Amino acid sequence: MGTVLSVEQLSGGYSPRKAIIQNINLHIESGEMIGLIGVNGAGKSTTIKHILGLMTPHKGTIMINGTTLQDDVEKYRSGYTYVPETPVLFEELTVEEHLRLTAMAYSVPQKQYEQQVEQLLERYHMVKKRKSVTAHLSKGMKQKVMIMSALLAKPALFIIDEPFLGLDPLGIRSLLLELVEVKKNGSSILMSSHILATIEHYCDRFLMLDGGQVVAQGTLQQMLDQANQGGGQARNLEEAFYELLNGGEV
């Protein structure tokens, strides 16, 4: 197993004077799914933005497939795809055109794209909407387009921010099954989510942030152990989360 994402001593924020996240360390191996958890404002989105290269770190290094953004922009960026919390689409494109655009940007071979696009449209129940302009789609459908685009690119790392927002139960199930498949194929996933009860069953490890710092990390068992160190009774991720955050109080 190779390291897909390596974040070392990452500190950063919007203002150079004030760091929102401090000393974040994170390593993701290929085929791993990591859950990034924390309350609103804990620093999850800021961490993701730094990994995406949308923000410049105050200090620390971020490597994807052994490359930093500064070393090689194209190689770094072709190592991941991103599904944002709120779907951000080119609204004038149809569903199919959006998928084609993404495939072109990630240099997906044309034959592979043509095969995959049919499968994805079928799986996400979007065949009838393939010619629809994305501006006219519901939020859930837009999210599906985002997910399909990410899956088409087949990178080493999927960065997914709150993927279940706006999806119907069928969409959530399709996505989870898809992510399991993605893992099997050797890709890694960094997923930020508040739906702890769901991700508990799918993620291999978790990274919990609070106030811009890592407060706990590891497998579910390791999270429970850390939460129960002070005599807590946490039995699942949600309880461990409350225990680590407020000493068990909701």
Using CB under 8 A as the criterion, which residues of the chain lie in contact with another protein when the complex forms?
A: 52-54, 73-78, 81-82, 84, 88, 90-93, 97, 100-107, 110, 113, 133, 135-136
Q: Looking at beta carbons only, is 81 or 174 nearer to another protein?
A: 81
Least distance from another protein to the Cβ atom of residue 1, Å: 23
CA separation, residue 51 to residues 61, 156, 190 (Å): 10, 14, 10
| Cβ-based nearer residue to another protein, 100 or 129 | 100
Strand order in the sheet with 213-218: 80-83, 157-161, 188-192, 33-37, 205-210, 213-218
Residue 58: CB minimum distance to another protein, A: 18
Please identify, using beta-carbon distances, which residue of 68 and 236 lies nearer to another protein. Answer: 68
**CB of residue 31 to another protein, shortest distance in Å:** 22
Q: Which residue lies nearer to another protein by CB, 77 or 183?
A: 77
Tell me how far apart the terminal alpha carbons of the chain are, to the nearest angstrom. 38
The minimum distance between CB 105 and another protein, in angstroms, equals 4
